[in-house]
């Protein structure tokens, strides 16, 4: 899994920097190419000579060489990598990464890096537990970075607690698992609907909802990250996609979303219906802006939109999977179980607006996954990226 993988290893000023030597050895032994980027403080703990000898590459630390002015391009480096691993990551480096404080080569490389980033913190237990560090780690998680939690044990301060950098072989295993997961959905085509729909009233007004599209976009990135070809049918949202394997189809109304979904589902292995589709639309759309004309009341006559999920559920082949969402405010499990059956979903993702941290416009979500066999799994509040991974992992097990 690590053969020919290009890995940037960021090393910072922690006593655990000595473990970076073992890390490089293990990565190189498995066929990876390792480029070390070390902070000035890191060099106080381990010498560049040790690191360059083990990695067979000069160690990068400064923006340019004092000797001949040669420039180290963090942009080229960021684009070169298949993964970036910061191990050990100190509280200070974690804070700089979370806030974009680009005052050394490691942080500029991090900010330019398009590849997945893994962070293995190492620090004293109280520093690790401090809300400042925890909030910074949370922020990094929300960027999609993966935190390799430190282990418990005796620390450099001789105190015992959580803060020891995870052991090199476990870190290497995490990277191997990650690269293995990149092929889990290879050759699979996944359709995803996301965001709200807008139902036109007149040229300047519509009926819409608060859906931000964040959950659907996170699902699209998670599927693409596992090797799938993704078709993302997006309602009106201002979000951007990152992964090149995501083909985006922008739509506005439920009818447009329906047409695109039916067309694309025929060729798909699975569909995840995350969009908040309007159930009704105005029967007629006024060509001109509707004037108030001193009227005290106005009535809009609404007609039902097609149910995309139910239509796909009705035509689903035995080798296709259908995943739905249910956002509920009461009797959550009963409503979700009913939708699962009614729309012929293989599983449904339930979120309750009563749970803090779940629902529209927030960066986190709290879900329960209910499957057709009647199993229900409850998850903790997590970033939408992490929730997307939980959902996609469930899809992967069913597709296999």
Beta sheet of 83-89, edge-to-edge order: 33-38, 6-11, 83-89, 117-121, 146-147
Enumerate long-range contacts of 363-368, CB under 8 Å, 24 or more apart. Answer: 363/142, 363/214, 365/215, 367/391, 368/332, 368/333, 368/336
Q: Does residue 369 interact with ligand CTP by CB under 6 A?
A: no
In the set 275, 340, 350, 370, which binds ligand CTP (CB under 6 A)?
275
Output the smallest distance, CB 325 to ligand CTP, in A. 4
CA–CA separation, 232 vs 221, rounded Å?
Answer: 10
- Given the residues 104, 136, 145, 209, select the one marked as catalytic: 209
Q: Does residue 277 interact with ligand CTP by CB under 6 A?
A: yes
Q: Does residue 273 interact with ligand CTP by CB under 6 A?
A: yes
Draw the binding track, 343-362, toward ligand CTP (x: CB under 6 A; -: no contact): x-------------------
Residue pair 385/142 in contact (Cβ under 8 Å)? The answer is yes
Residue pair 282/207 in contact (Cβ under 8 Å)? The answer is yes
* 3-state SS, residue 193: strand
Half-sphere exposure of 216 (CA within 13 A, CB side): 34
Output the smallest distance, CB 369 to ligand CTP, in A. 13
Q: Which stretch binds ligand CTP (CB under 6 A): 13-21, 146-154, 206-214, 274-282?
A: 274-282
Q: 187-206: which residues touch ligand CTP (CB under 6 A)?
A: 193
Residue 262: Cβ-neighbour burial (10 angstroms; 0-12, 13-18, 19+): middle
Q: Does residue 338 interact with ligand CTP by CB under 6 A?
A: no
Give the CB-nearest residue to ligand CTP: 308
Q: 242-271: which residues touch ligand CTP (CB under 6 A)?
A: 254
Q: Does residue 325 interact with ligand CTP by CB under 6 A?
A: yes
Beta sheet of 270-273, edge-to-edge order: 246-250, 229-234, 189-194, 270-273, 321-328, 347-352, 368-371, 376-378
Count of residues engaged in binding ligand CTP, rule: CB under 6 A: 15
Token pair 């080229």 is found at 76
Output the smallest distance, CB 322 to ligand CTP, in A. 9
Q: Which is nearer to ligand CTP, 83 or 349 (CB)?
A: 349
**Backbone phi and psi for residue 71, each to the nearest 5 degrees, phi listed first:** -95, 130
Output the smallest distance, CB 152 to ligand CTP, in A. 41
Q: 148-187: which residues touch ligand CTP (CB under 6 A)?
A: none
Output the smallest distance, CB 309 to ligand CTP, in A. 3
CA–CA separation, 311 vs 289, rounded Å?
Answer: 34
CA–CA separation, 370 vs 350, rounded Å?
Answer: 8
Output the smallest distance, CB 359 to ligand CTP, in A. 12
In the set 96, 164, 339, 384, which binds ligand CTP (CB under 6 A)?
339
In the set 168, 225, 324, 359, which binds ligand CTP (CB under 6 A)?
324
Is 209 labeled as catalytic in the residue annotation? yes
Q: Which is nearer to ligand CTP, 110 or 258 (CB)?
A: 258
Output the smallest distance, CB 197 to ligand CTP, in A. 8
CA–CA separation, 235 vs 203, rounded Å?
Answer: 18
Q: Which stretch binds ligand CTP (CB under 6 A): 88-96, 137-145, 169-177, 322-330?
A: 322-330
**Backbone phi and psi for residue 297, each to the nearest 5 degrees, phi listed first:** -140, 155
Token pair 């997961």 is found at 181
Q: Which stretch binds ligand CTP (CB under 6 A): 107-115, 175-183, 206-214, 319-327?
A: 319-327
Q: Which is nearer to ligand CTP, 176 or 256 (CB)?
A: 256
Tokens of 221: 């990135």
Hey, which residues are catalytic here?
A: 209
List residues near ligand CTP by CB under 6 A. 193, 254, 273, 275, 277, 279, 305, 307-309, 324-326, 339, 343
């Amino acid at each position: 899994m690590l053969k020919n993988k290009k890995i940037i290893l960021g090393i910072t000023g922690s006593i655990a920097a000595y473990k970076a030597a073992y890390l490089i050895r293990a990565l190189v032994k498995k066929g990876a190419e390792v480029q070390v980027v070390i902070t000035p403080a890191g060099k106080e703990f381990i010498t560049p000579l040790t690191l360059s000898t083990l990695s067979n590459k000069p160690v990068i630390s400064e923006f340019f060489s004092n000797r001949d002015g040669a420039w180290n391009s963090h942009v080229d480096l960021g684009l070169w990598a298949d993964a970036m691993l910061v191990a050990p990551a100190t509280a200070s480096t974690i804070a700089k990464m979370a806030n974009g404080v680009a005052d050394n080569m490691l942080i500029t490389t991090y900010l330019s890096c398009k590849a997945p980033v893994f962070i293995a913190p190492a620090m004293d237990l109280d520093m690790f537990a401090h809300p400042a560090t925890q909030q910074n780690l949370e922020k990094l998680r929300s960027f999609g970075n993966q935190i390799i939690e430190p282990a418990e044990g005796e620390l450099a301060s001789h105190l015992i607690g959580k803060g020891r950098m995870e052991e090199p072989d476990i870190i290497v295993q995490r990277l191997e698992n990650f690269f293995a997961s990149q092929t889990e959905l290879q050759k699979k085509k996944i359709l995803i609907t996301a965001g709200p729909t807008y139902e036109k009233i007149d040229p300047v007004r519509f009926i819409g909802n608060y859906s931000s599209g964040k959950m659907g976009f996170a699902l699209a990135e998670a599927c693409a990250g596992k090797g799938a070809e993704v078709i993302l049918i997006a309602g009106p949202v201002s979000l951007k996609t990152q992964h090149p394997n995501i083909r985006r189809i922008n739509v506005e109304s439920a009818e447009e979303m329906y047409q695109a979904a039916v067309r694309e589902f025929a060729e798909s292995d699975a569909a995840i219906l995350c969009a908040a589709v309007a159930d009704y639309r105005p029967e007629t759309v006024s060509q001109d802006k509707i004037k108030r004309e001193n009227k005290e009341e106005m009535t809009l006559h609404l007609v039902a939109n097609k149910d995309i999920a139910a239509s796909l559920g009705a035509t689903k082949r035995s080798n296709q999977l259908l995943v739905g969402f249910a956002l509920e405010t009461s009797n959550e499990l009963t409503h979700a179980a009913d939708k699962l059956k009614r729309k012929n979903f293989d599983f449904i993702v339930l979120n309750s607006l009563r749970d803090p941290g779940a629902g529209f416009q927030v960066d986190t979500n709290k879900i329960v996954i209910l499957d057709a066999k009647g199993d229900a799994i409850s998850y903790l509040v997590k970033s939408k990226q992490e929730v997307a991974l939980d959902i996609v992992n469930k899809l992967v097990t069913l597709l296999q």
